[in-house]
C-alpha cells in the first residue's frame, strides 16, 4: 500500500515509513493498472488495421494490442518489413532503382539493398562520363580547383584528378612541398631560426624534423653527461653551474636526484648565500 496509507495504519509519520522502506531497499508502491477483458467485438478488429491505430481506437496500450495479437497468432495488417516476392525481385536491374521503388511502393534504399544482396548489377548508373574539352583543360591550374569546378560544373574531385593526371601543378596550394635543399637544412640550426629562413612556421619545421628522426640542433633540455655528473658535490652548486653553463637550481636538482651530498654538507662550510 502507499506510504501515506501505511503511516496512518501504523500511526507513524510519512518520513519514518519512507526512510524505513528505503533502508530495506523496498520499491515504492505502484498501483496495478486497471485490467479490462477483451470483448469479442474488440478481438474481431485485431489484424484488420495497424496495432497503433487499433490501440488508439479501443483506448488500450500498444503493448496490450500486440500481446493479444501474438496470443491469437493473427498476422499484422501493416508490418514494417514487407517480404520480397519473386515477381518483385524479377524487376530489379531491369529499370533504374528509382522507378522500381515507385512501381513497388518501396523505399529507394530498400530496392538498392535488395539488388545488391542478390548481386544484380545496376544497368542504369547515375554517373555519366563527359570527356574533357580543350577549353576546360586550359583552366586547370589557372584558378583554384573549387573555382574551376563551379565554372565548368564538375566535381572538385574530378578537377583535382584531371589536373594531377596531366601533371599541372597547383599554384594555389596552402601546403608548400618540401624541397631537397630544405630537407637537408633540418637539424643544422634551431627550429625557430630555420623557420624564419624558410618562411615556414616553427611547428611545421619541428614536425618535419621529428618525422625523419633528425635531432634538434638546440634542444630545450640538455642531457647530463657522465663527466658533468662527476663534478656534482665537489664544489658549491652555483660554482659548478657557472662552470657548466647551467642554472644553479638545475644543478642542485640533479645532485639531489643522484643522492649526492652538497659541498657544504661534506666540508661543513656555509654557502656565500647563507
Mean pLDDT to the nearest integer, 251-259: 90
* C-alpha span between 122 and 103 (Å, rounded): 17
Length of the chain: 274
Local confidence band at 274 (pLDDT 50, 70, 90 cut-offs):
very low
Quick: pLDDT tens for 110-162.
Answer: 899 999 999 998 877 665 678 899 999 999 989 989 999 999 988 888 999 99
Under a CB-based contact definition with an 8 Å cutoff, are residues 204 and 198 in contact?
no
Tens of pLDDT, residues 192-222: 888 888 888 888 888 888 888 888 877 667 7
Domain ranges in the chain are 86-117, 134-165, 175-220, 226-267
pLDDT-above-90 percentage for the chain: 19
Residue 108, C-alpha cell as written in the block: 529507394
pLDDT tens readout for residues 95-117: 888 899 999 888 888 899 999 99
| Contact yes or no for 270/264 (Cβ under 8 A) | yes
> pTM of the predicted model, to two decimals?
0.29
pLDDT at 1: 81
Q: Are 92 and 115 in contact (CB under 8 A)?
A: yes
Distance from C-alpha of 218 to C-alpha of 190, rounded to nearest angstrom = 5
Q: What is the pLDDT of residue 24?
A: 85
Amino acid at each position: 500500500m502507499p506510504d501515506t496509507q501505511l503511516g496512518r495504519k501504523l500511526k507513524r509519520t510519512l518520513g519514518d515509513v519512507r526512510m524505513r522502506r528505503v533502508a530495506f531497499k523496498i520499491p515504492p508502491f505502484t498501483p496495478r493498472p486497471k485490467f479490462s477483458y477483451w470483448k469479442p467485438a474488440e478481438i474481431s478488429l485485431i489484424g484488420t488495421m495497424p496495432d497503433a491505430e487499433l490501440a488508439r481506437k479501443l483506448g488500450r496500450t500498444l503493448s496490450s494490442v500486440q500481446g493479444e495479437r501474438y496470443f491469437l497468432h493473427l498476422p499484422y495488417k501493416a508490418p514494417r518489413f514487407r517480404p520480397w516476392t519473386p515477381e518483385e525481385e524479377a524487376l530489379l536491374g531491369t529499370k533504374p532503382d528509382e522507378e522500381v521503388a515507385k512501381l513497388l511502393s518501396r523505399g529507394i534504399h530498400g530496392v538498392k539493398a535488395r539488388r545488391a544482396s542478390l548481386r544484380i548489377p545496376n544497368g542504369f548508373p547515375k554517373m555519366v562520363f563527359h570527356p574533357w574539352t580543350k577549353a576546360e583543360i586550359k583552366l586547370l591550374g589557372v584558378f583554384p580547383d573549387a573555382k574551376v569546378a563551379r565554372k565548368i560544373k564538375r566535381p572538385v574531385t574530378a578537377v583535382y584528378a584531371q589536373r594531377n593526371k596531366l601533371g599541372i601543378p597547383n599554384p594555389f596550394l596552402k601546403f608548400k612541398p618540401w624541397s631537397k635543399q630544405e630537407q637537408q637544412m633540418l637539424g643544422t640550426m634551431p627550429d625557430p631560426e630555420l623557420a624564419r629562413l624558410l618562411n615556414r612556421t616553427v611547428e611545421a619545421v619541428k614536425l618535419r624534423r621529428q618525422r625523419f628522426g633528425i635531432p634538434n640542433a638546440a634542444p630545450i633540455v640538455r642531457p647530463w653527461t657522465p663527466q658533468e655528473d662527476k663534478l656534482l658535490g665537489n664544489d658549491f652548486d652555483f660554482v659548478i653551474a657557472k662552470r657548466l653553463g647551467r642554472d644553479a637550481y638545475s644543478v642542485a636538482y640533479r645532485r639531489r636526484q643522484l643522492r649526492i651530498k652538497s659541498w657544504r654538507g661534506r666540508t661543513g662550510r656555509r654557502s656565500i648565500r647563507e
